[in-house]
Structure 1
């Protein structure tokens, strides 16, 4: 069953989607493109790499493929930096081509426009299969809910589910524990969400929780690190 969505334009000119049943957007009204760069690339992938130079390939797990924006920006990052990335994402309700083909992310930055073909490639790759999409980006997407997903060891987690007020089950402590157990020593989880209960749950799971500044329109976000040392 496909979600009932319509395309909207956010404040930075980039598209997002409005989920009519949940009455929720896929990204911030203040800028979808800027939010993804800020939360997932700068405070997620870049921050992990700063602590782990030359530790490749980087294994990324994403909760919520959605529009494909996070995955595409990560592919561009991998190609520009010539760093191999293994990217696993889940999404129970994929978008139809008539929606994702209209999204304008490739028009947001002229410097990376020539990577435009990969955006469609990410969407067209068969679900529940994996393989290389570009020289430095290996991709697998599973059409499955988080509670049923098989998780692989990850270095970076993009937790990009709908807000806890809209889909509280995705933020339940038992599912967060499932994700935490899949994180490798020294891994990082990053998300736009800064809810108190969510942060308390992460701390109880043993993660080092930080509150970096949020993207435009949000005071803060959440980043959580797993210890480099594992219990014997």
Structure 2
């Protein structure tokens, strides 16, 4: 599978797969998309609802470039709150390609380059204490083969678009994700297609369309409501 490094409109990198006609992030801006979709609409939104929590458990579908994990590491430091982050990735990027990614430079956080690199080079399937606020575990597997552990608070659903991987946007998949969430947990995804929204609703999510990142009018956020007492 050929994977090419490209520069997006905010100056940050993404990786394109010509064979599938997809890229790992928006060509309108990789960093701006991840900040908007996953950090703002997912992570920060959950903390706004659960401000007294001592820890947030995050699950990411598709570790990819590691950008979402890096941004979450920075958010954990900023909030001084603990995060446990678990992610699955069946086809990890080659380290030679990872070393060219410019996220720390684009974020003006060059100090964090060794931390970013460690997300990619650390051992698979074991918990890594990346910082005093960020613990991390990556598993080399397909989502279909992933066995969930403890309930999670936030899901970053960052699979490739339905046109490239339709099997990852079905009701059974969202039923699995819904079961993984703790009550009050949220799932954020860049996708806003009607059939995806209907699959999420059928799986049990409360679903809302919210403004999307630059270049995309809408995105979806699903919530597992807390049962009434």
Q: Distance in 1 between matches of 2:82 and 2:133?
A: 4
1:128 pairs with one of 103, 106, 125: 125
* 1:141-180 map, 5 Å: 141-152=138-149, 153-180=151-178
Q: Distance in 2 between matches of 1:23 and 1:128?
A: 30
Structure-1 residue corresponding to 2:226: 228
SS in 2 for 1:128: coil
SS in 2 for 1:44: helix
When the two structures are superposed, what TM-score results if normalisation uses the length of structure 1? 0.95
Structure-2 residue corresponding to 1:26: 24
1:140 pairs with one of 127, 137, 140: 137
2:111 pairs with one of 110, 114, 122: 114
Query: Higher mean Cα deviation, 14-23 or 64-73?
Result: 14-23
Which 5+ residue runs of structure 2 have no aligned equivalent? none
Query: Higher mean Cα deviation, 129-138 or 31-40?
Result: 129-138
Structure-2 residue corresponding to 1:64: 62
- C-alpha offsets along residues 166-214 of structure 1, whole Å, 9 cap, x if unaligned? 0001112111111110100000000100010110111112211111100
Structure-1 residue corresponding to 2:202: 204
Structure-2 residue corresponding to 1:40: 38
Is 1:99 aligned to residue 59 of structure 2? no
- Deviation of the 1:127 alpha carbon: 1.4
Q: Distance in 2 between matches of 1:92 and 1:230?
A: 38
Structure-2 residue corresponding to 1:9: 7
C-alpha distance 151-161 of structure 1, shift in aligned 2 (>3 A)? same
After TM superposition, the runs of 4+ consecutive aligned structure 1 residues lying more than 6 A away are none
Structure-1 residue corresponding to 2:211: 213
The number of aligned residues is 228
Q: Distance in 2 between matches of 1:21 and 1:82?
A: 42
When the two structures are superposed, what TM-score results if normalisation uses the length of structure 2? 0.97
Q: Distance in 2 between matches of 1:158 and 1:95?
A: 19
* 1:45-56 map, 5 Å: 45-56=43-54
- Deviation of the 1:10 alpha carbon: 0.5
Judge conservation of contact 2:171–2:202 (CA < 8 Å) in 1.
Answer: no
- C-alpha offsets along residues 46-101 of structure 1, whole Å, 9 cap, x if unaligned? 00100001212100000000000000100011012111000000000001111001
Which 5+ residue runs of structure 1 have no aligned equivalent? none
Q: Distance in 2 between matches of 1:114 and 1:131?
A: 19
SS in 1 for 2:164: coil
